[in-house]
Structure 1
């Protein structure tokens, strides 16, 4: 009987032990200033354990801000490798190929005037314009065609000097030759001087003839298209103004209009007085024109003087011309990231209009380099990535790409010829992934 009583007492003590330990633990937590909160309602904070007055859940102890983070054994590092650092797949693989590739540069451009064939006709002497024989801009003129009649006291005096010598001192060849030369320098032609010597009568209105063949313009008109090469469009017009470029000496039927801001008439008028050296008219010889192209800065190094180029006209399907690069400008325009390339075009007999939009193509062979299909490289915007296969998995590696040729892309750095990469980099990435390229050798 006494033995049973002892056994019951021991059992009771065993049952009371957990409650004693819990009470001691609570006393220690309260002594340490522990706070308790509800997992579902963090606004509930108490200084002792209990239940949430909102949902009835047991309050849990809050972790202090300076509590140490749990340590992870070093043996678990392989479990912490990011999911986007390696991909297991069985897609097709390729190797970069060291080779030369036939490439092509495509350039947009516009037809413009050859500035070497633009001439200014100034007034060689002062006077009054008596009659104008050209009436509007882009009117075709021929060499020797009459442009205007002018009255000039200076020219009248020069004629009288020659007539005086011919009448009073016909044997003085030196003075007579000097008087003739003075008239030539003032713009008189040999025919006018001969007629003066024959008729022995000075002319008070002197005719000025064009020394060039081309199109006449007011000096204030800009003779080049104002539109950018990539957006230029052909201008059209009517009447018998500027013809096709082939009409520089024969008057073709095709026409083009002046720039929208250009004056349609001449600044000089009949009855106006002009001064010596004043620019009266401008003549443009358009039998040869320029094709000006914009080429990307990274492709300009492939072009030099004499490089063959094929030119097609956007407004004339099927029409092409063969020419060669005449000049690659050694400077960039302000705010531009492309170079200007100039090509000479023979416009005589061709339906070429100033301002026409054209496309130029240059074929060349690249140097020996590593090439891969463009699908094997993923462009992330700020870098390019290829998937390198190692130990049965694909790991992203940063690569530097160079020029492109059709479906091929040059690898400047990041890969070697014996590397094995995924043939389709896009296949390994979904639309919402971002590839972290890092050193995965450790």
Structure 2
């Protein structure tokens, strides 16, 4: 009987132990289930407290492990975890940048223009009325000493009478006579006209004006004249000498750019119209000396200097080149342009060169010592240029600053070190900045 009672007590104790352990296990399970977090395997930023699906890709969420030892991110593991668009694993030919000095050249396109130092303005030295006009149309050729017009001027008549009076009444007063002669010279009279006046002894009521230059007339009577003869469209052309350009040249401040004719307002001349002192009468261009004006990219202008050799080719003679040199570099950029101007004088009298003609040129210069790589090793992705440098067996895009390109080589100004290994052909990647992630 005692034995049965003892066995019953043992069975009861075992039952109580099993019940107690089951209750503890259930509480731990409930506690664990209540604290479990769920995340998306593809989008770890998605975290929820209950099972479900990813709102981005639709995959089932899995429990997020909160136990165990944290994984140590070693250098090799960090390399494997890098984004796929930062490195490229490929078997391509490689090359190393070479530091050297290269004889480079820049291609330029330009136009033949006037030499602005040979653009002259002929103003009126005295006011009066044009009686006879011998230059009547635009681009009319004239030569030095050619009669341009005959004018009636009360001021010239008075000056002639003063000289004749002194010659006839006081021939011994050489000083006064010379002063009267000089006054006529300043009014535009030549020595031949003054000597003829003294020989004839009679003043002339119309006085002839002669051209002091060779060339042809531009900007003359190309627009309708105004209604008032005395103010008939007088052009305020830029003159260096004002009234004195009848006796010497004045530089026109206009430079010929895209237009073959220097920019200036038209001059209107008609027989019977009145002109005032200092009014521009004619603009004359001497085409014996021409120059070519070229556009050069902004990145190339610093490489050129005055005296750099230039080979100019004409469309009608593509196999022949005219040897010249850079004479002037424009020190500023025009509004809205990204090109500088280079001016080259054409040596001698070029019979093939015509004003307004388009020409090509090749300017040579010695590039500064720099690193040079094959042209195919540089990839232009629009906003920048990159090369693919080999690091630890893979290729990484590296942003570089490139200079000039000569032949099959490109100058790398910044971004590469000597001894670096780069892909010889960078075109194996898609030309898209969204794909190529460049480390800044």
TM-score above 0.5, yes or no? yes
Seen in structure 2, the aligned counterparts of structure 1 residues 36 and 416 have a Cα distance that, compared at 3 Å, is closer
Structure 2 counterpart of 1:144: 145
Seen in structure 2, the aligned counterparts of structure 1 residues 35 and 428 have a Cα distance that, compared at 3 Å, is closer
Report how many residues are paired.
Answer: 379
Instruction: Identify which range, 430-439 or 93-102, moves more after superposition.
Output: 430-439
Aligned 8 A contact 2:129 2:151 in 1:
yes
- Counterparts in 2 of 1:171-190, with a 5 A limit? 171-190=172-191
Q: For the residues of structure 2 that align with 1:294 and 1:60, how far apart are their CA atoms?
A: 64
Q: For the residues of structure 1 that align with 2:135 and 2:69, how far apart are their CA atoms?
A: 96
Shift of 1:416: 2.7
Shift of 1:142: 0.3
Structure 1 counterpart of 2:98: 97
Structure 2 counterpart of 1:56: none
- Counterparts in 2 of 1:112-261, with a 5 A limit? 112-217=113-218, 218=220, 220=235, 228=258
Shift of 1:188: 1.3
Question: Which SS does the other structure have where 1:325 is aligned?
Answer: strand
Unaligned runs of 5+ in 2: 1-10, 35-47, 221-233, 238-251
Aligned 8 A contact 1:294 1:338 in 2:
yes
Shift of 1:210: 0.5
Q: For the residues of structure 2 that align with 1:125 and 1:274, how far apart are their CA atoms?
A: 8
Q: For the residues of structure 2 that align with 1:428 and 1:361, how far apart are their CA atoms?
A: 34
TM-score for the superposition, normalised by structure 2: 0.73
Unaligned runs of 5+ in 1: 1-5, 43-58, 236-257
Instruction: Identify which range, 95-104 or 429-438, moves more after superposition.
Output: 429-438
Question: Which SS does the other structure have where 1:104 is aligned?
Answer: strand
Shift of 1:94: 1.4
Supply the RMSD in Å over aligned alpha carbons: 4.0
Q: For the residues of structure 1 that align with 2:262 and 2:302, how far apart are their CA atoms?
A: 34
1:342 corresponds to 2:340: no
Instruction: Identify which range, 378-387 or 70-79, moves more after superposition.
Output: 70-79
Shift of 1:432: 9.1
- Counterparts in 2 of 1:14-413, with a 5 A limit? 73-75=71-73, 77-78=77-78, 79-217=80-218, 218=220, 220=235, 228=258, 266-314=267-315, 317-346=318-347, 348-413=349-414
**Cα deviation digits, residues 155-183 of structure 1 (max 9, x gap):** 11211222222222223222222222222
Shift of 1:345: 2.0
TM-score for the superposition, normalised by structure 1: 0.72
Question: Which SS does the other structure have where 1:336 is aligned?
Answer: coil
Aligned 8 A contact 2:313 2:360 in 1:
yes
Shift of 1:117: 1.5
Shift of 1:209: 0.5
Q: For the residues of structure 2 that align with 1:330 and 1:412, how far apart are their CA atoms?
A: 23
Instruction: Identify which range, 70-79 or 175-184, moves more after superposition.
Output: 70-79
